[in-house]
């Protein structure tokens, strides 16, 4: 595939096929993504790849946490609110996802089911969990993890593997440590749900929107 075809073709997948992704493909994705840049070449990313029974055990724990509305206690704080301009974008993508599934604003049960699906990776067969050692500085470490994360998503796209970046999988680090044996000295930073996309699902096909360059670029000439 052409680079821009891969770059612009990558999108968040919220409906996956049950087919497993071969370990050899996952290893190729990580091997190629490791060429991403990082601050002073520290390459701080650490990855746990979960599938099969361990992942199902984690998903079951997530369902239980959501059902009792357990408070979120992420290792790295996630924002609960955004100022108006950014909140509008968050609200817009949420509306697109609900509309694509035919879920009305008044349908609380369907909205709650969708919320639970976010915590269980939309049934993706693979979770790549990104970790950051607690000896490392968070701002720069997270910047490097973000660069690496995007690299993983692009390489996966080039191989026909769909991805979804999810903070919902790191809201309960105690569960990650018990279900997936995450070491105590590693911060659970972000998750990537992975699998083969269900191309027929409307939630994987709605039109995406991006702000124009004029809204975020300043030219100094």
Rounded CA separation 25/159 (Å): 8
The residue among 164, 182, 169 whose CA lies nearest residue 66 is: 169
Judge whether 191 and 172 are in contact, CB under 8 Å: no
- What average pLDDT does the segment 208-217 reach? 95
- pLDDT (tens digit, 9 = 90+) per residue, 169-206? 999 999 999 999 999 999 999 999 999 999 999 999 99
Task: Quote the longest CA-to-CA distance of the chain.
Answer: 57
Mean pLDDT of 75-92: 92
Angle at 153 between CA 152 and CA 158, to 5 degrees: 100
**Exposed (0-12), middle (13-18) or buried (19+): which is 86, by Cβ within 10 Å?**
exposed
Compute the Cα dihedral for 176, 180, 183, 185 and give only its sign.
Answer: negative
Contact in structure between 24 and 208 (CB atoms under 8 Å): no
H or E stretch including 166? strand 162-166
pLDDT score of 80 more than 90: no
Q: How far is CA 205 from its chain centroid? A: 18
> In the structure encoding, which two tokens stand for residue 8, read together?
């612009």
- Does 4 score more than 80 pLDDT? yes
Average pLDDT of span 104-122 = 94
Residue 67 has pLDDT above 80, yes or no: yes
pTM: 0.95
For residue 104, give both structure tokens: 């009305």
Determine the Cα–Cα distance for residues 148 and 131; give it in Å rounded to an integer: 12
Q: Is residue 1's pLDDT more than 80?
A: no
Q: H/E element holding 111?
A: helix 108-119
Could you give the dihedral angle defined by the CA atoms of residues 110, 112, 114 and 117, in that order, rounded to the nearest 10 degrees?
A: -140
């Amino acid at each position: 595939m052409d680079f821009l075809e891969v770059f612009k073709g990558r999108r968040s997948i919220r409906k996956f096929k049950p087919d497993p992704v071969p370990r050899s493909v996952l290893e190729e994705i990580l091997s190629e993504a490791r060429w991403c840049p990082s601050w002073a070449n520290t390459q701080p990313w650490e990855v746990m790849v979960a599938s099969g029974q361990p992942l199902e055990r984690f998903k079951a724990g997530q369902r239980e946490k959501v059902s009792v509305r357990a408070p979120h206690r992420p290792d790295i704080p996630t924002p609960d609110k955004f100022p108006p301009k950014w909140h509008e974008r968050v609200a817009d993508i949420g509306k697109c996802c609900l509309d694509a599934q035919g879920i009305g604003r008044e349908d609380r049960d369907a909205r709650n089911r969708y919320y639970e699906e976010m915590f269980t990776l939309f049934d993706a067969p693979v979770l790549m969990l990104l970790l950051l050692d607690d000896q490392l500085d968070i701002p720069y470490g997270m910047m490097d993890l973000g660069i690496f994360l995007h690299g993983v998503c692009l390489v996966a796209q080039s191989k026909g593997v769909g991805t979804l970046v999810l903070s919902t999988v790191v809201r309960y680090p105690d569960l990650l440590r018990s279900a997936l044996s995450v070491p105590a000295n590693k911060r659970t930073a972000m998750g990537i749900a992975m699998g083969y996309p269900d191309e027929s699902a409307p939630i994987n096909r709605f039109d995406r929107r991006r702000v124009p360059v004029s809204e975020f670029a300043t030219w100094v000439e």
